[in-house]
């Protein structure tokens, strides 16, 4: 091993051992240090032009919106779909026999059965990431994007032609397998294109786009229901996903990049201060400079960027990549972040499964009005965008300055205090508003508040773990998305039964307490999180999770 290779080897070992602790600002002039360090290669995604990176980010957001467009959107017409495919009769005041207890119970049972069509897709959407992630890590983002969105387009057409409940359920479960790639791949794409200090804002866009996709679909589906049937949303979804597939194929190059082999004319790596040296038990030079002779590769042509795959990106086995998300769940930071995200999305699914029936029965809303109600979620998400992005970055940067320029992943956590209060308030207002039949604006405002918290809390929880375990960020995201899907499915499965047993106030009152307690756990993590990360890194299960050096990306 020559001196340069040995130096890089030692440097990467140091990065592994710091577990998210990086020097982000110079101590003297407080200027931002670019992490990861961009190379001299024009093909390095960090060196791509700003307009092109903005375009790719916008396309990524569109992909995220469409990922939930058909997952949640069609739930607005759950009553119409139940009537059409299960031939159930809803309570109609002008038809006395439909108001009999047996008739109402039969219709309620049919609506519950139809809700499995939506919760089943949500479950598959999350757990499909266990299959997709090894392929993404091994072979890159581009081939998986192309294949998954082609499949999404095809099965959207299949779902639109379903003529009974079984076919709709089966086609939606398969349909859910494909857009799961967007949930786990978008954070990787963001990390490929941006620097560490930009990640909070970009991940906020991720959270808002992911959360608003279903709402946009619900608004559009509600509008379509006035002139056509429930199948129209699938036709529209198929057309949009087909258009996105074309954009991906012709304009979305591979964003994964091997920084270990990147050409560097001169690389200056500021070492971590003595404080970090002692905490991580590593020997890090104050300043390390390496000079290399190299040839800068030419910029890839348009045709070269259209290659489906760029070969194998890591020497890790597919089995190791597949197993790592399951093992990482036991790490306290990942465990907490996963529960946080799972509860927020799970309660969101409960709300989504009850909006149509509760507002139809209590406030006599039409399908169009139910669809328009989802504007509250869209508005809440837009309000949450600066809070999830700028606010969390500002808090983390303030604490970084006070820590002599050293960024710790836990420095984002104090921003949780806002979402910790807003999320329980939103859930409680929604449940009490419907349970006590307050003006419809009360539960609608509760829905808006919860959407704000979903953007803030979901973003903080995810970025915290990505910062802490950046080389295996994909597996971290899979852990959260997979378990999130499990929560969403179980809560969606039992939502109607839960409400029938204890009512809206009891159901959403319990959810309020649960989410407050879990969110408040950011406090002990902020105090002891770093020590926990380093202590748990020594656990025997970490032998499964240790990553190869070719997974390092310069953070």
Instruction: Judge whether residue 218 has pLDDT over 90.
Output: no
Higher pLDDT, 526 or 540: 526
Instruction: Judge whether residue 266 has pLDDT over 60.
Output: no
Report residue 438's pLDDT band, with 50, 70 and 90 as the boundaries. very high
> 82-86, 360-364, 374-378, 482-486: which range is least confident on average?
482-486
Q: How far apart are the first and last CA of the chain?
A: 23
Please list the residues that pair with 268 across neighbouring strands: 289
* Spatial distance between the Cα atoms of 250 and 466, rounded to a whole number of angstroms: 29
C-alpha distance from residue 331 to each of 276, 364, 467, 478 (Å): 22, 47, 14, 14
Alpha helix (H) residue ranges in 364-440: 367-373, 375-386, 392-402, 416-435
CB 204 within 8 A of CB 382: no
Tell me the percentage of the chain whose pLDDT exceeds 90: 26
Instruction: Judge whether residue 274 has pLDDT over 60.
Output: no
pTM of the model: 0.78
Instruction: Judge whether residue 244 has pLDDT over 90.
Output: yes
| Distance, C-alpha 239 to centroid of its chain | 24
Residue 398 C-beta-side C-alpha neighbours within 13 Å: 10
Classify the phi-psi angles of 285: left when phi > 0, otherwise alpha if psi is within -120 to 50, otherwise beta: beta
Burial 457-478 (b: 16+ CB within 10 A, else e): bbbbbbbbbbbbbbbbbbbbbb
- pLDDT tens digits along 390-406: 888 889 889 988 888 88
* Spatial distance between the Cα atoms of 127 and 119, rounded to a whole number of angstroms: 12
268 — phi, psi (to 5°)?
-110, 120
* Spatial distance between the Cα atoms of 470 and 20, rounded to a whole number of angstroms: 7
Tell me the percentage of the chain whose pLDDT exceeds 70: 87
**3-class DSSP assignment, residue 61:** helix
CB 482 within 8 A of CB 125: no
Kind and range of the H or E element at 268?
Answer: strand 266-270
**3-class DSSP assignment, residue 299:** coil
Question: What average pLDDT does range 167-183 have in this prediction?
Answer: 90
Q: Which residues are CB-neighbours of 124 under 8 A, at least 6 positions away?
A: 173, 174, 176, 177, 180, 485
Pick the closest to residue 451 from 470, 489, 425 (CA basis): 425
CB 287 within 8 A of CB 268: yes
CB 347 within 8 A of CB 211: no
| Distance, C-alpha 466 to centroid of its chain | 11
Cβ atoms < 10 Å from Cβ of 58: 12
CA angle, 44 as apex, 41 and 50 as ends, to 5°? 115
DSSP-assigned states of every residue in 199-262: HHHHHHHHHHHHHHHHHHHHHHHHHHTTTS-TTHHHHHHHHHHHHHHHHHHHH-------STT-
Q: What is the mean pLDDT of the chain?
A: 82
* Spatial distance between the Cα atoms of 458 and 211, rounded to a whole number of angstroms: 10
* Spatial distance between the Cα atoms of 11 and 435, rounded to a whole number of angstroms: 59
CA angle, 208 as apex, 250 and 226 as ends, to 5°? 85
Q: For 72-219, where are the E strands, in sequence order?
A: none
Q: Is the dihedral of CA 534, 539, 545, 548 positive or negative?
A: positive
The tokens for 52 are 């092109």
CB 80 within 8 A of CB 367: yes
Report residue 263's pLDDT band, with 50, 70 and 90 as the boundaries. low
* Spatial distance between the Cα atoms of 267 and 304, rounded to a whole number of angstroms: 28
* Spatial distance between the Cα atoms of 494 and 491, rounded to a whole number of angstroms: 5
* pLDDT value of residue 280: 44
- pLDDT tens digits along 138-171: 898 999 999 999 999 999 999 999 889 999 999 9
Instruction: Judge whether residue 16 has pLDDT over 60.
Output: no
* Spatial distance between the Cα atoms of 458 and 267, rounded to a whole number of angstroms: 36
Kind and range of the H or E element at 156?
Answer: helix 141-160
* pLDDT value of residue 269: 39
259 — phi, psi (to 5°)?
-80, -20
The strand pair at 287-291 and 266-270 is best described as: antiparallel
Higher pLDDT, 246 or 475: 246
* pLDDT value of residue 36: 80
């Amino acid at each position: 091993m020559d001196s340069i290779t040995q130096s890089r080897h030692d440097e990467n070992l140091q990065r592994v051992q710091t577990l998210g602790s990086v020097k982000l600002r110079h101590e003297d002039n407080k200027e931002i240090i670019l992490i990861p360090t961009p190379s001299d290669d024009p093909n390095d995604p960090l060196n791509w032009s700003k307009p092109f990176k903005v375009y790719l980010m916008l396309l990524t957001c569109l992909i995220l919106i469409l990922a939930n467009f058909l997952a949640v959107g069609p739930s607005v017409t759950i009553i119409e779909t139940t009537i059409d495919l299960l031939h159930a009769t809803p309570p109609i005041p002008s038809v006395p026999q439909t108001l009999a207890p047996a008739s109402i119970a039969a219709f309620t049972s049919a609506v519950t059965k139809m809700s499995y069509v939506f919760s089943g897709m949500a479950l598959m959407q999350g757990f499909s990431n266990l299959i997709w992630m090894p392929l993404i890590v091994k072979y890159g983002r581009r081939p998986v994007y192309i294949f998954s969105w082609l499949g999404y387009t095809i099965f959207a057409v299949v779902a639109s032609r379903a003529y009974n409940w079984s076919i709709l359920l089966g086609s939606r479960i398969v349909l859910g397998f494909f857009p799961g790639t967007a949930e786990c791949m978008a954070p990787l794409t963001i990390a490929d294109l941006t620097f560490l200090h930009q990640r909070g804002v970009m991940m906020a866009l991720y959270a808002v786009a992911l959360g608003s996709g279903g709402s946009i679909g619900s608004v559009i589906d509600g509008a379509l229901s006035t002139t056509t049937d429930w199948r129209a949303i699938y036709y529209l979804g198929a057309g949009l996903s087909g258009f996105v597939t074309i954009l991906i194929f012709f304009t979305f190059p591979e964003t994964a990049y091997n920084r270990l082999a990147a050409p560097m004319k001169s690389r200056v790596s500021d070492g971590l201060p003595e404080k970090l040296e002692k905490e991580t038990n590593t020997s890090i030079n104050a300043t390390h400079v390496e000079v290399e002779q190299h040839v800068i590769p030419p910029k890839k042509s348009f045709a070269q960027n259209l290659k489906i795959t760029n070969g194998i990106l890591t020497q890790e086995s597919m089995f190791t990549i597949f197993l790592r998300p399951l093992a990482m769940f036991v790490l306290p930071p990942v465990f907490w972040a996963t529960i946080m995200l799972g509860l927020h999305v799970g309660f969101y699914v409960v709300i989504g499964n009850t909006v149509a029936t509760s507002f139809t029965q209590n406030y006599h809303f039409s399908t169009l009005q139910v669809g328009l109600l989802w504007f509250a979620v869209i508005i809440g998400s837009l309000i949450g965008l600066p809070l999830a992005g700028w606010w969390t970055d500002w808090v983390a940067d303030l604490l970084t300055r006070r820590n002599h320029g050293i960024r710790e992943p836990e420095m984002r956590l104090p921003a949780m205090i806002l979402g910790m209060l807003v999320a329980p308030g939103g859930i409680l207002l929604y449940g009490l508003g419907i349970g006590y039949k307050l003006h419809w604006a009360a539960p609608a405002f509760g829905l808006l508040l919860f959407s704000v918290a979903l953007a803030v809390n979901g973003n903080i929880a995810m970025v915290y773990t990505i910062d802490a375990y950046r080389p295996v960020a994909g597996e971290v995201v899979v852990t959260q998305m997979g378990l999130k899907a499990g929560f969403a499915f179980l809560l969606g499965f039992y939502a109607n039964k839960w409400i029938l047993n204890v009512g809206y106030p009891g159901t959403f009152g319990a959810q309020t307490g649960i989410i407050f307690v879990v969110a408040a756990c950011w406090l002990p993590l902020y105090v002891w999180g770093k020590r926990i990360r380093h202590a748990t890194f020594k656990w025997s299960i970490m032998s499964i999770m240790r990553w190869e050096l070719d997974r390092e990306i310069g953070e």
